[in-house]
Amino acid sequence: MAVLICGGAGYIGSHVFNELLNRNIETVIIDSLEYGHKDAIKECKNFYQGSIGDADLLQTIFKKHDIDSVMHLCAYIEVGESVNNPAKYYTNNLVYSITLLNCMIRANIKNFIFSSTAAVYGEPEKIPLKEEYRKEPTNPYGDSKLALEKILTWYRKAYDFNYVALRYFNASGAHPDGHIGEDHNPETHLIPLILQVPLGKREAIKIFGDNYNTPDGTCLRDYVHVCDLAEAHIEAMNYLKNGGKSESFNLGNGNGFSVREVIDVARKVTGHPIPVEICPRRDGDSSELIASSGLAQLLLGWSPKITSLETIIETAWNWHKNHPNGYNDK
């Protein structure tokens, strides 16, 4: 039996593919390559360039390959863009995802692993965040993810179908051997933006607000290594294949690091002073987002292995300094 990774040439998807490859699990990838990179999945033997909104292509894939599980990681992810262009986000993240689900139902594929997000919670009710807490997304990106989670609950009731939704916190780092890593254009994640300073791509890193109610005045975030996220996808798949019931799980480190802490550790790792520029707060930024991943540990047997912020940044720096232009394929 094979696994289909939708968005398998992206940042997290390529790390999931690498882990499946290491475990000798047959894998098929569909990716539009709008943001993904073919060089991130050089060893993939079953690659299809296209969209999950293309029902004919999906039906071809499901007929040609003996797929029993689908992993969905091909959403648009930029919060600011989602506010300015919600149609793009609801079309891709929701409408196309429904096309994928409907093709799965027709092909009698029962196991669905969905890449969700901590953005489903909006402003946190309490810290650390638990799965049952209030969900009020503050942007169309988070809302599109929550909407699909709700749809999944109805599909589970109506069809012979089960799902796991994985609510990532801040995906970060790169594969420790340095052959794959993070390459977004535009880049919006804090760690690669910080590392652009020692790479000579920007003069300083902007801190958006230094007057939050946190120990050093800057926002606290939960950074989880991308290889740990990859393992969580496989644990989620095995959980479903072994009869586990549909569920949503937070995936985080469980520790909060401030923007200033991340910059200080990056200075240590790179040996660069990394100047900062203090800017006004951005709308919609929560002061603190930290996960409780206890449910994932209990039911999936998952907990992060790479928990040191310094190690996370070391793996990222190893990738970026050796690939200053990423995959250099755009």
Q: How far apart are CA 281 and CA 78, in angstroms?
A: 18
Q: How far apart are CA 89 and CA 87, in angstroms?
A: 5
Beta strands 257-258; 170-172: pairing state: unpaired
Which letter does DSSP use for residue 246 in this model? P
Report residue 9: phi and psi, to 5°: -95, 5
What DSSP element (H or E) covers 299?
helix 294-299
What DSSP element (H or E) covers 325?
none
Tokens of 10: 């992206």
**For the chain, what is the radius of gyration of the CA atoms?**
19
Of 142, 172, 160, nearest to 269 by C-alpha is: 172
Q: How far apart are CA 103 and CA 137, in angstroms?
A: 28
Unique residue bearing structure tokens 């100047």 = 275
What DSSP element (H or E) covers 89?
helix 86-90
Tokens of 308: 């040191």
Residues 6+ apart with CB under 8 A from 289: 118, 121, 124, 127, 129, 169, 170, 219, 220, 221, 222, 256
Which letter does DSSP use for residue 136 in this model? B
Under 8 Å between Cβ of 97 and 119: no
CA dihedral 81, 221, 286, 145 (to 10 degrees): 50
Of 303, 153, 185, 326, nearest to 235 by C-alpha is: 303
Active site positions, annotated: 141
